């Protein structure tokens, strides 16, 4: 598959080869990662990368667009069908530009917006003070309830009534529970705010109908395309027709130049895959696996924020285990289990060495792993964290992990 790179550039080829090995021999638990199909890989690696196509289908600033327009229209139509959306822009390069484009389209600098705090499961684009979102707009941040680890919708409502935001962002990167979309929308309506949802993490589960969708209710919805949706790295923005013009203008020429049409082709292919019945089976298994892994971890004394999960994602607070999130991540890397250190709500520790770890099941479910493999995974995580300074014990676990993983091929990797 990589014959040309192999012949021409041994340094890049060597790194790709080692990454192929790492991906096939290890258990991928980063909840925002997945393995795309060979068809999506082909689209992303295609000659479409050669083309400039500033503008939108039928209204471009460069010639030679007949095939590009076909591809972009396919991506738009399939996304509309998948999410039952009125309008879709498929050009955002990724999640942060998508969210920034929404703010640029619908807000003035300095406007008041509400978003979830980063250490409670929000994102840097949901108002982190040092990020563009937090500097350009006046974000009022809501959080989760200290005792339950869940969103407190009455607190969200009181903050909205006090601050009268122009927009309320319901968006999450480390929140394991179902979202009460209708309640969010009712609060936004009560204060006259625009309701924006960022469903980057759960879009695949929403598209498959295994989690409730905000699309019928919300004014604007963003999502990345590479997480549970299992497409290429990128994003889309969906909105009600009345915001369509403003959103399109904000993406181009407001924020971006030429769209990445090879990635848009990958999105079109992935959306077609997600429209198939098999994708619903996949999404249901993602949820089942996450639930099973959560229960298996709890049995082994792990404390989960909110006590469990309704989605693909699990957040564990390791304080009672006497190990930091960073040390856990490093030890688990050594046995081939990849996850990320993560803050827990009101974390007393710093973000670079926080109290928690974040895990998810989208990638391992794509490989075909099921409940039995979740049980093994929980056992390996538990064992690893009890032998972090014992290199021999870690090497033994790594071998067991590898043996299991090689029974579950990764699409696009032939080892």
The yes or no reply on residue 260 touching ligand DSN (CB under 6 A) is no
The yes or no reply on residue 213 touching ligand DSN (CB under 6 A) is no
Residues 291 and 308 sit within 8 Å (Cβ to Cβ): yes
Helix (H) or strand (E) holding 99: helix 95-106
Size of the site for ligand DSN (CB under 6 A): 5
Give the pairing of strands 235-239 and 87-89.
Answer: antiparallel
The yes or no reply on residue 185 touching ligand DSN (CB under 6 A) is no
The yes or no reply on residue 360 touching ligand DSN (CB under 6 A) is no
To ligand DSN, the closest distance from the beta carbon of 2 in angstroms equals: 27
> Using CB under 6 A, which residues numbered 367 to 396 contact ligand DSN?
none
Closest residue by Cα to residue 266 from 34, 12, 28, 27: 34
Judged by CB under 6 A, the residue of 173, 202, 223, 361 near ligand DSN is 173
Strand segments, DSSP code E, in 120-219 are 138-142, 167-171, 194-198
In angstroms, the CA 91 to CA 76 distance is 10
In angstroms, the CA 295 to CA 156 distance is 30
Set 52, 152, 217, 370: catalytic member: 52
- Dmax (CA) of the chain: 63
Task: Judge if the upstream peptide bond of residue 253 is cis by omega within 30 degrees of 0.
Answer: yes
Set 150, 233, 280, 298: catalytic member: 233
The yes or no reply on residue 123 touching ligand DSN (CB under 6 A) is yes
Is there a catalytic annotation at residue 20? Answer: no
Of 53 and 311, which CB lies nearer to ligand DSN in the complex structure? Answer: 311
To ligand DSN, the closest distance from the beta carbon of 95 in angstroms equals: 5
142 three-class SS: strand
Of 95 and 234, which CB lies nearer to ligand DSN in the complex structure? Answer: 95
The yes or no reply on residue 329 touching ligand DSN (CB under 6 A) is no
Phi/psi for 211 (5° steps) reads -130, 155
Set 224, 311, 343, 377: catalytic member: 224
In angstroms, the CA 45 to CA 41 distance is 6
Is there a catalytic annotation at residue 227? Answer: yes
Of 72 and 119, which CB lies nearer to ligand DSN in the complex structure? Answer: 119
The yes or no reply on residue 256 touching ligand DSN (CB under 6 A) is no
The yes or no reply on residue 32 touching ligand DSN (CB under 6 A) is yes
Residues 262 and 124 sit within 8 Å (Cβ to Cβ): no
Of 123 and 321, which CB lies nearer to ligand DSN in the complex structure? Answer: 123
Is there a catalytic annotation at residue 224? Answer: yes
Of 173 and 225, which CB lies nearer to ligand DSN in the complex structure? Answer: 173
Q: Return the half-sphere exposure (C-beta side, CA atoms, 13 A cut-off) of residue 247.
A: 24
In angstroms, the CA 223 to CA 198 distance is 6
Handedness of CA 213, 156, 175, 110 (dihedral sign): positive
Residues 258, 169, 282, 229, Cα dihedral to 10°? 0
The residue of the chain with the least Cβ separation from ligand DSN equals: 32
Is there a catalytic annotation at residue 72? Answer: no
Is there a catalytic annotation at residue 298? Answer: no
The yes or no reply on residue 126 touching ligand DSN (CB under 6 A) is no
> Using CB under 6 A, which residues numbered 193 to 212 contact ligand DSN?
200
Number of Cβ within 10 Å of residue 147's Cβ equals: 7
Of 144 and 394, which CB lies nearer to ligand DSN in the complex structure? Answer: 144
Set 198, 248, 310, 317: catalytic member: 198
Task: Copy the structure tokens of residue 335.
Answer: 């046995």
The yes or no reply on residue 121 touching ligand DSN (CB under 6 A) is no
Of 60 and 230, which CB lies nearer to ligand DSN in the complex structure? Answer: 230
The yes or no reply on residue 95 touching ligand DSN (CB under 6 A) is yes
The footprint of ligand DSN (CB under 6 A) covers: 32, 95, 123, 173, 200
Catalytic residues: 52, 54, 198, 224, 227, 233
């Amino acid at each position: 598959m990589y014959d040309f790179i192999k012949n021409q550039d041994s340094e890049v080829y060597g790194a790709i080869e080692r990454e192929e090995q790492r991906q096939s021999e290890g258990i991928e638990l980063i909840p925002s990662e997945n393995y795309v199909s060979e068809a999506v890989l082909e689209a992303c690696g295609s000659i479409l990368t050669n083309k400039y196509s500033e503008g939108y289908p039928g209204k471009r600033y460069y010639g030679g667009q007949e095939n590009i327009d076909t591809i972009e229209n396919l991506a738009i139509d399939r996304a509309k069908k998948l999410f039952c959306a009125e309008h879709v822009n498929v050009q955002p390069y990724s999640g942060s530009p998508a969210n920034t484009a929404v703010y640029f389209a619908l807000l003035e600098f300095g406007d008041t917006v509400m978003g979830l705090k980063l250490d409670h499961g929000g994102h840097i684009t949901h108002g982190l003070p040092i990020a563009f979102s937090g500097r350009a707009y006046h974000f009022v941040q809501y959080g989760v309830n200290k005792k339950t680890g869940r969103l407190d919708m009455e607190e969200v409502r009181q903050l909205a009534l006090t601050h009268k935001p122009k927009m309320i962002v319901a968006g999450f990167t480390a929140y394991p529970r179902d979202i009460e979309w209708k309640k969010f929308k009712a609060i936004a309506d009560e204060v006259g705010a625009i309701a924006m949802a960022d469903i980057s993490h759960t879009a695949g589960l929403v598209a498959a109908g295994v989690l409730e969708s905000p699309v019928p209710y919300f004014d604007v919805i963003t999502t990345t395309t590479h997480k549970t949706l299992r497409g290429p790295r990128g994003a889309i923005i969906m909105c009600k027709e009345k915001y369509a013009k403003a959103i399109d203008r904000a993406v181009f020429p407001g924020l971006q130049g030429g769209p990445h049409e090879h990635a848009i082709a990958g999105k079109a292919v992935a959306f077609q895959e997600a429209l198939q019945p098999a994708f619903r089976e996949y999404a249901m298994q993602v949820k089942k696996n996450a639930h099973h892994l959560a229960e298996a971890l709890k049995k082994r004394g792990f404390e989960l924020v909110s006590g469990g999960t309704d989605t693909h994602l699990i957040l564990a607070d390791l304080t009672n285990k006497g190990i930091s999130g960073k040390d856990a991540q490093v030890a688990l890397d050594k046995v081939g289990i990849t996850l990320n250190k993560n803050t827990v709500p009101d974390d007393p520790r710093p973000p670079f060495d926080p109290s928690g770890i974040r895990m998810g099941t989208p990638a391992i479910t794509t490989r075909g792993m099921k409940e039995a493999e979740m049980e093994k995974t929980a056992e390996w995580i538990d064992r690893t964290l009890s032998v972090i300074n014992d290199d021999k014990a870690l090497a033994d676990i790594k071998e067991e992990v590898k043996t299991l993983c090689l029974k579950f091929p990764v699409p696009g990797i032939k080892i």
